[in-house]
Amino acid sequence: MSPAAERVTFENLLWITACLALTLLAGSTTLPIWVIATAGAAAAIRLTLAARGRDAPPRSIRFVIAALAIGLLFWQFRTFNGLSAGTALLSLIAGLKLLETRTRRDIHVVTLIIYFLSLATLLQGESFWLLSYLIAVCWLTTATLLRLTSSSRGGDWRGSVRYAGRILAQAVPLAVAAWLFFPRFDSPLWRIPDTGGGAMSGLSDVMSPGDITDLAMSDEVAFRVRFSAGTPPPQERYWRGPVLHQFDGHAWSRTDSRRVRAPVVLFQGPAYEYTVSLEPNQHNWIFVLDWPSRWNAARGALTSDYMLVQDSPISQPMDVVATSYSHVQATEPLSSDMRRSDTQLPTGRNPRSLRLAQQLRSAHPDDLDFVHAVLDMFHTEAFYYTLSPPLLAQDSVDGFLFDSKRGFCGHYASAFAALMRAVGIPARVVTGYQGGTFNRFADYWILRQSDAHAWNEVWIDGQGWLRVDPTSAIAAERVEHGLNDSIATGGPLTSRWQQRTPWLTDTRLRLDALRLLWRQRILGFNQGSQEKLLGLLYIPEPDGQKLALALAVCLISGMSWLTWQVRRELKPRSRDPVNRAYERLCRRLAAVGLQRMPHEGAETFAARVAAARPDLASTVSALCRRYSALRYAAASPAAAAATFIAGVRAFRPRRVRPGRVRPASRVRPGPH
């Protein structure tokens, strides 16, 4: 019987089940619940059977269960190609494999699946903790494998875990070297469709404030920004996201504005240079400060409404270095297409608002005056800012302006744009982020999902697009709790518990600084970083070939180190410090050509050394005499051992050239 065909014990079954459970736990956020439930049920059934000393269920039952589960999976995903579907399929197979586990070979298959599932989970995740957790799970899995292979390791679980840990630790240096120098590719080798829907978070390209009754403020980080030259004041820190043009009377949505070239503008005001570190999301929007002039995103392009987009979703953490100006001056009139789309209003909707706009317009014929009049209205009338507004009917602007008068930035931006359009002023809604939290520990800004904001842009003939933030017009006393907005309060507002526990806020900021470091140094490690690394190693003009060479050198020296390290443990080493010191003494003398013969005692050896090297005579004979005393005298004080060890440590015999003898060695023997 081959070793792989041997039956497994209940204990091993239990451990491999635990390892699989821990792996699935890490992937539980992306896996369908029923896959985890099926795997769990299969493991539970198998363990129950095994505990009663029974074998796996018959083949026919297993086949039916497997066919059903895999069919269901295909029905849900429609494909097995792609990360989510593939991961789910593997999880399912691992669970079902447990059901039929009888021999070691079955467990071997499960360990391989655990390794691959860990990798698949890592491809979707990015945190340091996830990596550490999955490495720990693999450690346990490997320890299980050790127990499975080794018949001699009876109940010694701790020993197995320790040994597997040591092997894992020895694997780290080589892995680090390979990771640093293995060539990276800019684009994937081939594209794998990913149909598995991750949850959408943050902004979307539809804004329908009337449908939201409770705006959840997520602390999730959208992106981080580091300004390299000058930080703009709060009223300039608007991070531009999707621009919405289409209004149906109730909600705003985007039109495809990619086809049209971005209009040329004249940049004015101070320029800000900064690095945006984007978190991966489902969209292809690159958030930049209003108004971007330069950026280094290779696949980024401006739309006609000055939004920076990429041709594919931002699936990896990405750094973009960009320059923006606070003001722009249009150099050409608004195109008729854009004017049409930005003055469009659905006919017959929001009639009360239209009438209000006409009334205001008659008092304020100038466009800018009209804008201020509307803002004044928001300021003086009883408009409230709240995160829990009432639901609005189909004519959402009418409902908001005349009935509820309560809402958040989306309501104000929507109503403002509608009022502008009602009198023929081109207006649009810009969504994005505003403000941010400054991290003083690492000098950058954190923009969270709770910093999401919506504002407007109006076209003023002769000037161009002008940013207007109607939310900021609300009187401070009418701002209800929960507003994390610096515009309304004139400074960063923190929630009450954060004010009470400043150290907690500090800790959070410090942690976030570490997270940014992790993101940039580890997650964002790429060809450029490798070139920088080679530069640090004084390798001129780094290129791919030199990288491969560095990789080869690292691998060869890593393997040599490994061989040395692994064999070193074979050498018998004395546990006794006195013996170790004596061995060291003999090694040092051997290095200068005085090899102790195996039969030679300490004092005989010392006599021979004295004859060959008179300069070393006094030291060596003193040390050897002391060693003999320590070994053979009836009782010796602990201090004597320490003196001996120190004496050996300080003893460094020099190699002499023929014909020249140094007068004395550096070490003077201590008192006996």
| Catalytic sites, residue numbers | 409, 453, 469
- What is the smallest separation between the CB atom of 154 and other proteins, expressed in angstroms? 10
In angstroms, rounded to a whole number, what is the distance separating the alpha carbons of residues 631 and 576?
Answer: 11
Strand runs labelled E in 401-463: 406-407, 427-434, 437-439, 444-448, 452-460
CB 45 within 8 Å of CB 68: no
Nearer to other proteins, 37 or 171 (CB): 171
Strand runs labelled E in 331-405: 384-385
Nearer to other proteins, 118 or 323 (CB): 118
- Of 135, 219, 284, the closest CA to residue 448 belongs to 219
Q: How many other C-beta atoms can be found within 10 angstroms of the C-beta atom of residue 231? A: 16
Helices of type H across 441-576: 486-489, 496-500, 502-518, 527-536, 544-568
What number of residues does the chain have? 672
CB 290 within 8 Å of CB 298: no
Nearer to other proteins, 116 or 267 (CB): 116
Nearer to other proteins, 251 or 551 (CB): 551
- What is the smallest separation between the CB atom of 112 and other proteins, expressed in angstroms? 5
User: CA 642 from chain center: how many Å?
Assistant: 51
- What is the smallest separation between the CB atom of 463 and other proteins, expressed in angstroms? 44
Q: Count helices and strands (H / E) in the chain.
A: 21, 19
In angstroms, rounded to a whole number, what is the distance separating the alpha carbons of residues 657 and 141?
Answer: 58
- What is the smallest separation between the CB atom of 15 and other proteins, expressed in angstroms? 14
Which residues of the shown chain bind other proteins in the complex (CB under 8 A)?
3-4, 83, 104-105, 108, 112, 115-116, 118-120, 122-123, 125-126, 130-131, 134-135, 138, 142, 145-146, 148-153, 163-164, 167-168, 170-172, 174-176, 178-179, 182, 184-185, 188-190, 192, 316, 522-525, 559, 562-563, 566-567, 569-573
Strand 452-460 vs strand 427-434: parallel, antiparallel, or unpaired?
Answer: antiparallel
Nearer to other proteins, 149 or 358 (CB): 149
Q: Exposed (0-12), middle (13-18) or buried (19+): which is 373, by Cβ within 10 Å? A: middle
- What is the smallest separation between the CB atom of 566 and other proteins, expressed in angstroms? 4
- What is the smallest separation between the CB atom of 280 and other proteins, expressed in angstroms? 11
- What is the smallest separation between the CB atom of 524 and other proteins, expressed in angstroms? 8
Nearer to other proteins, 573 or 654 (CB): 573
Nearer to other proteins, 116 or 441 (CB): 116
Return the amino acid letter for 356: L
Mind giving me the DSSP string for 132-156? HHHHHHHHHHHHHHHHHH-TT--S-
* CA separation, residue 214 to residues 237, 344, 659 (Å): 26, 29, 95
Nearer to other proteins, 527 or 618 (CB): 527
Strand 406-407 vs strand 384-385: parallel, antiparallel, or unpaired?
Answer: parallel
CB 337 within 8 Å of CB 260: yes
- What is the smallest separation between the CB atom of 194 and other proteins, expressed in angstroms? 10
